[in-house]
Structure 1
Amino acid sequence: MKKLKKARKSKYPPVKLGLFLSSLCVLIYAYFIEPNWIEINSLQLTLPHLATEFDEYKIVQISDIHVNKWMTQARLKRIFRLVNQQKPDAIAITGDFITRRQERFIPNLTATMGQLVAQDGKFGVLGNHDYWSNPDAVSHAMAQTNVFNLANTFQSIQRGDAKLYIAGVDDIYVGKDRLDLVMQSLPDDGNAAILLAHEPDFADTSAATGRFDLQLSGHSHSGQVRIPFFPPLHLPELGRKYYAGLHHLGSMMVYTNRGLGVTGMHLRFNCRPEITVITLNGKK
């Protein structure tokens, strides 16, 4: 009987050691590897109201840069080089340029974001973390680097007589969104319109207008840490319904980008940072 007990006991230390080493490897991967392993995700989308003059139009979306101590100028330069390599017609940045209470790192944005290049311009909206830091300073950094802040307004892109509208609402989470102002000024002329909104669950409101073909969002980080076969462990308010990827809401689509930075624990697991390359075509 004593020998049997000894035999049983001898099996447990290797099992515990194996579990410890496995957990350690996962933690090292989630901390050092995946947050730096950017996925370039390509989508082909058909917009019902897009004029044929805009066929093969390319929008590169990035989101949730979350500039902080970890998101250094070197990392930003690498990210922006990857964006430029996609040869975008337009660049959309869907909020959270910085992390909460990390405004001292805003100069990193000013020093690097100007290297982004797109034929028809760079467009962005603020997110909740920008408002929890210093929204005026973030807006100033956008202006200095020629990123147009679509705060409850729109811009028009033209190809011949055809137009594509890029609109945006200011942050919904902190109550700065004024979709009514966008709708009052946005021409109802049958041309396609795309809306930038930091929080993806705003899509229920924007889709109800019937005016937008596509909403681009971020905010959720798609959960940031995702255990296979299980829902995300944590999702923020207004990022729980359409927290990842492409969704269809009647005649409108919403795409939620996984973001580039991290918040909370400096970890990403099964949820790589993302640059989205969206190629648009009109309905034939």
Structure 2
Amino acid sequence: MKQLSRRQFLKGAAGASILGFLATTCGYGYARYIEPRMIDTVSMTIRDAQLPASFDQFKIAQFSDVHLSDTFPSKELESVVQQINAESPDLIVFTGDLVDFQASIEEHEKAKAYLTKLHAPFGKLAICGNHDYGPFGIDLYEKTMEDCGFTICKNDVFPLEKEGAHIQIATMDDLMMSVPDYDLIKREVSSDLFTLLLVHEPDAALELDTIPINLQLSGHTHGGQVQLPFYGPILTAPFGHTYVEGLYGSYQHRIYVNRGLGTTRLPLRFLAKPELTFFTLSSRI
């Protein structure tokens, strides 16, 4: 029999302890019914000298990992859309996982009523997450998002222009359920332009550590979804072990991991609040 390392043993014991706490005390009620509805609005400024002056104060709204289900029905999107539109972003990006395994096809249709109301002058972009390739197939996800005015992006690099200046946007398909084209990113991303990378799983950055990515936006991890005080996430997702939540890196390659809005597998959040993120780009260092 394979023996557990001390770290594995402690991690397992810690996980059992927190789950026991959540199951046997009022902590369960908090993790099940309160924290999953406590959407945290995160605003940050990304300063980068490579950003063209015309993009100074350009605002990007990111939302991720909705996981439509009984625990996050489409109706919950109403307040999300209101919060995003209230910030008047220039660009809106969705970083994958609209559905969950339990989601009904009807929830797709209901979600359209809300997602259609999102507005941004430079458009709405969506990439694919692993769950979007799940029970109903990727075609339904793509049709839903396109009907709502989103542009579906897979393995692409393209410019975004403002007042004659450009930044570039790079996108990758899902790492778990599709074929991400790392070679395309390595070949097409120009070091001369400020680059925004959209990819569902954050650990894609490990393969792109020598590529000049000014800002990578990802989701997937839910911030661990359940964390221990002073310890962090009990479990982390595949391709989300290294970068779990928040901002990492430096000017060479910044990575931001959004904790998402919904839940999967367990309808719980503990010390990992759902999140909307707003980035203001600044050329002033």
**TM above 0.5:** yes
Structure 1, 169-178 or 137-146: larger mean CA deviation = 169-178
**Alpha-carbon distance in structure 1 between the residues aligned to 2:220 and 2:243:** 10
- For residues 145-195 of structure 1, the C-alpha deviation after alignment (integer angstroms, 9 at most, x for no partner) is 111111111343212121122221010112421133345555x37221100
Q: CA deviation at 1:20?
A: 8.6
Query: Residues 44 and 21 from structure 1, CA distance in 2 versus in 1: closer, same or farther, beyond 3 angstroms?
Result: closer
Q: CA deviation at 1:49?
A: 1.9
Where does 1:72-91 land on structure 2 (aligned, <5 Å)? 72-91=73-92
**Alpha-carbon distance in structure 2 between the residues aligned to 1:153 and 1:22:** 45
**Alpha-carbon distance in structure 2 between the residues aligned to 1:283 and 1:80:** 30
SS in 2 for 1:78: helix
**Alpha-carbon distance in structure 1 between the residues aligned to 2:191 and 2:240:** 31
Amino acid at match of 1:131: Y
Amino acid at match of 2:267: H
Query: Residues 172 and 249 from structure 1, CA distance in 2 versus in 1: closer, same or farther, beyond 3 angstroms?
Result: farther
Counterpart for residue 33 of structure 2: 32
**Alpha-carbon distance in structure 2 between the residues aligned to 1:21 and 1:217:** 28
- For residues 207-226 of structure 1, the C-alpha deviation after alignment (integer angstroms, 9 at most, x for no partner) is 3222x211000000011111
SS in 1 for 2:67: coil
Counterpart for residue 55 of structure 1: 56
Where does 1:132-171 land on structure 2 (aligned, <5 Å)? 132-133=134-135, 134-171=137-174
Counterpart for residue 120 of structure 2: 118
**Alpha-carbon distance in structure 1 between the residues aligned to 2:148 and 2:188:** 26
Q: Cα RMSD over matched residues?
A: 2.1
Query: Residues 203 and 249 from structure 1, CA distance in 2 versus in 1: closer, same or farther, beyond 3 angstroms?
Result: farther
Is the CA contact (8 Å cut-off) linking 1:63 and 1:218 kept in structure 2?
Answer: yes
Where does 1:1-284 land on structure 2 (aligned, <5 Å)? 23-100=24-101, 102=103, 104=105, 105-133=107-135, 134-186=137-189, 188=190, 190-210=192-212, 212-248=213-249, 251-282=252-283, 284=285
- For residues 96-134 of structure 1, the C-alpha deviation after alignment (integer angstroms, 9 at most, x for no partner) is 111125352322332321111111111110000111232
Structure label with greater radius of gyration: 1
Query: Residues 260 and 59 from structure 1, CA distance in 2 versus in 1: closer, same or farther, beyond 3 angstroms?
Result: same
Q: CA deviation at 1:265?
A: 1.1
SS in 1 for 2:167: strand
SS in 2 for 1:208: coil
Amino acid at match of 2:116: G
Identical columns (%): 33
**Alpha-carbon distance in structure 2 between the residues aligned to 1:171 and 1:22:** 34
**Alpha-carbon distance in structure 1 between the residues aligned to 2:158 and 2:84:** 21
**Alpha-carbon distance in structure 1 between the residues aligned to 2:223 and 2:21:** 27
**Alpha-carbon distance in structure 2 between the residues aligned to 1:129 and 1:249:** 30
Query: Residues 276 and 21 from structure 1, CA distance in 2 versus in 1: closer, same or farther, beyond 3 angstroms?
Result: closer
SS in 2 for 1:119: coil
**Alpha-carbon distance in structure 2 between the residues aligned to 1:222 and 1:189:** 30
**Alpha-carbon distance in structure 2 between the residues aligned to 1:41 and 1:95:** 18
Unmatched segments (≥5 aa) in structure 1: 1-18
**Alpha-carbon distance in structure 2 between the residues aligned to 1:63 and 1:44:** 19
**Alpha-carbon distance in structure 1 between the residues aligned to 2:182 and 2:228:** 36
**Alpha-carbon distance in structure 2 between the residues aligned to 1:193 and 1:154:** 9
Query: Residues 99 and 20 from structure 1, CA distance in 2 versus in 1: closer, same or farther, beyond 3 angstroms?
Result: closer
Unmatched segments (≥5 aa) in structure 2: 1-19
**Alpha-carbon distance in structure 2 between the residues aligned to 1:129 and 1:78:** 23
Is the CA contact (8 Å cut-off) linking 1:192 and 1:213 kept in structure 2?
Answer: yes
TM-score using structure 1 length: 0.87
